[in-house]
């Protein structure tokens, strides 16, 4: 089917230069959620109607790797003169190869593919169109759905035009509809703007269809919140929490333990194995995979991370572009930067930073250390305050630490350098040449005590 997505609005009440549909929900612009739902529901031709910030909106859509570029068209609405005018702008880009055209809104990010499939199924017959409705306890401000005695939709009445009896109706129009492609093109071409706003309203095509004797079916969405749009930053924040609650529920139904779903944020894709535990205040960005039995402590940030089974991330740790093996322990207050790979049983402790390094099984850097551009073997102990000096001011150089090395506290390894198997580096060593295997290497000034030395004192005035 064809799908028209209305994405031309500036969103004046957002008070932002960013086009409204590019404001994020769950780390993804609202428009991305709508396009994803459309594709999942069976869209074969997508026409995105752009206006304010058209270049930014088009660039975003073209950058979606999962969206077939040959399926997307853009239509410019300038100036914006209502929803019907937007569909008029898209009409010439619709493909006659598809009998039905679905109209969606780029600021309705929680719309569900299942709902759209139900709507499309209702309109499969060529002489039918279908309108998505929802029930609201307080329908103030929404257009009311007027049905015939047979239950077909006759029209949508704006609140200001409704009678007291019509205002009591709780079924409202969401604006989302599906119609035969050629009929929709014909109807929107006939729209008029004889109203207070001088705009062309898409909802007028419902009455046109009814007047032609077409059956217009009303499909009521199971969830009212899935059909709500975003017009202010406050509404965006509310929608964000609804989205996060939905994601949390999905994960908990699959077996994850989430301490408090109201303090939980996924801004990308999060995959959890059985018995994963996530404490409060955690943020997951990009693609994150947590294997069976992983524990995430409070206030951690994980971006594009894979965590092996049974591993534990302690509080306030920040992981970005890292891969952790089984039974690893990270944190608290640790930072893993892109290119970090921890093998089984590794420990990276408090205030330790690792970048672009591979650390072997059961190696540890538990305190106040920096390991960058390094290859670390198995069973290595890196003492507190150790740093790899990997940058000479122009180029990065690599440090190699082989198996069973012991590195004393406050050691500097000036790359490029190799610490061979079983070597021990004494505390305070500055290593500038390779350390031989199974030997103690020490680099420090000889300790001396000076007799009869007196500490200087301040002069009295």
Indicate which residues carry an active-site annotation: 367
434 with 408: CB under 8 angstroms? no
Where are the alpha helices (H) located in 169-212, listed in sequence order? Answer: 181-189, 204-211
Helix or strand run (H / E) with residue 113:
helix 113-122
Query: For residues 317 and 127, what is the distance between their CA atoms, to the nearest angstrom?
Result: 59
Q: At what angle do helices 83-91 and 181-189 cross, to 10 degrees?
A: 120
Q: Could you give the angle at the alpha carbon of 296 between the alpha carbons of 293 and 297, nearest 5°? A: 135
The pair of three-digit structure tokens given for residue 321, joined into one six-digit string: 């572009």
How many CB atoms are located within 10 Å of the residue 81 CB? 17
The DSSP secondary-structure symbol of 302 reads E
Helix or strand run (H / E) with residue 215:
strand 215-220
The pair of three-digit structure tokens given for residue 260, joined into one six-digit string: 């408090």
Query: For residues 177 and 145, what is the distance between their CA atoms, to the nearest angstrom?
Result: 13
49 with 31: CB under 8 angstroms? no
Contacts of residue 159, Cβ cutoff 8 Å, sequence gap at least 6? 139, 140, 141, 142, 143, 144, 167
Alpha-carbon distances, residue 106 vs 30, 48, 86, 228, 251 (angstroms): 6, 9, 12, 11, 26
Alpha-carbon distances, residue 390 vs 320, 385, 387, 396, 428 (angstroms): 20, 15, 9, 5, 18
Q: What residue has token string 């989302």?
A: 176
Residue 167 exposed, middle or buried by CB count within 10 Å (0-12, 13-18, 19+): middle
Pairing of strands 72-76, 45-50: parallel
């Amino acid at each position: 089917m064809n799908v028209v997505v209305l994405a031309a609005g500036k969103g004046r009440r957002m008070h932002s230069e960013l086009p409204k549909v590019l404001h994020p929900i769950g780390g993804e612009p609202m428009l991305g959620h709508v396009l994803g739902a459309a594709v999942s529901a069976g869209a074969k031709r997508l026409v995105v109607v752009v206006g304010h910030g058209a270049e930014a909106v088009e660039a975003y859509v073209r950058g979606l790797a999962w969206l077939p570029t040959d399926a997307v068209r853009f239509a410019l609405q300038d100036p914006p003169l209502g929803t019907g005018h937007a569909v008029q702008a898209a009409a010439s880009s619709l493909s006659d190869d598809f009998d039905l055209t679905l109209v969606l809104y780029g600021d309705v990010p929680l719309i569900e593919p299942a709902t759209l499939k139900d709507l499309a199924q209702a309109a499969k017959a060529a002489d039918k169109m279908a309108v998505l409705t929802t029930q609201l306890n307080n329908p103030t401000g929404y257009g009311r759905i007027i049905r015939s005695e047979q239950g077909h939709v006759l029209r949508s009445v704006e609140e200001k035009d409704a009678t007291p009896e019509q205002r009591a109706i709780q079924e409202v129009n969401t604006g989302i509809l599906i119609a035969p492609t050629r009929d929709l093109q014909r109807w929107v071409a006939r729209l008029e703007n004889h109203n207070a706003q001088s705009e062309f309203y898409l909802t007028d095509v419902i009455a046109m269809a009814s007047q032609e004797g077409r059956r217009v079916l009303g499909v009521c969405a199971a969830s009212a919140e899935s059909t709500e749009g975003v017009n202010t930053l406050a509404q965006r924040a509310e929608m964000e929490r609804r989205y996060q609650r939905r994601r949390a529920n999905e994960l908990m139904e699959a077996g994850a333990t989430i301490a408090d779903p109201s303090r939980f944020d996924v801004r990308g894709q999060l995959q959890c194995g059985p018995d994963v535990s996530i404490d409060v205040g955690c943020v997951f960005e990009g693609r994150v995979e947590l294997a069976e039995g992983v524990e995430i402590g409070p206030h951690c940030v994980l971006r594009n991370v894979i965590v092996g089974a049974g591993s534990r991330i302690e509080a306030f740790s920040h992981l970005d572009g890292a891969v952790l093996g089984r039974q690893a322990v990270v944190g608290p207050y640790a930072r893993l930067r892109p290119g970090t790979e921890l093998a089984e049983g590794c420990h990276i402790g408090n205030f330790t930073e690792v970048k672009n390094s591979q650390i072997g099984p059961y190696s540890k850097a538990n305190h106040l250390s920096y390991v960058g551009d390094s290859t670390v073997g198995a069973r290595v102990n890196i003492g507190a305050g150790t740093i790899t000096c990997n940058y000479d001011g122009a180029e990065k150089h690599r440090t190699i630490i082989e198996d069973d090395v012991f590195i004393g506290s406050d050691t500097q390894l000036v790359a490029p350098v190799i610490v061979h198997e079983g070597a021990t580096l004494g505390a305070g060593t500055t290593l500038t040449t390779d350390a031989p295997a199974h030997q103690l290497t020490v680099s420090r000034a000889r300790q001396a005590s000076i007799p009869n030395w007196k500490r200087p004192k301040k002069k009295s005035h």
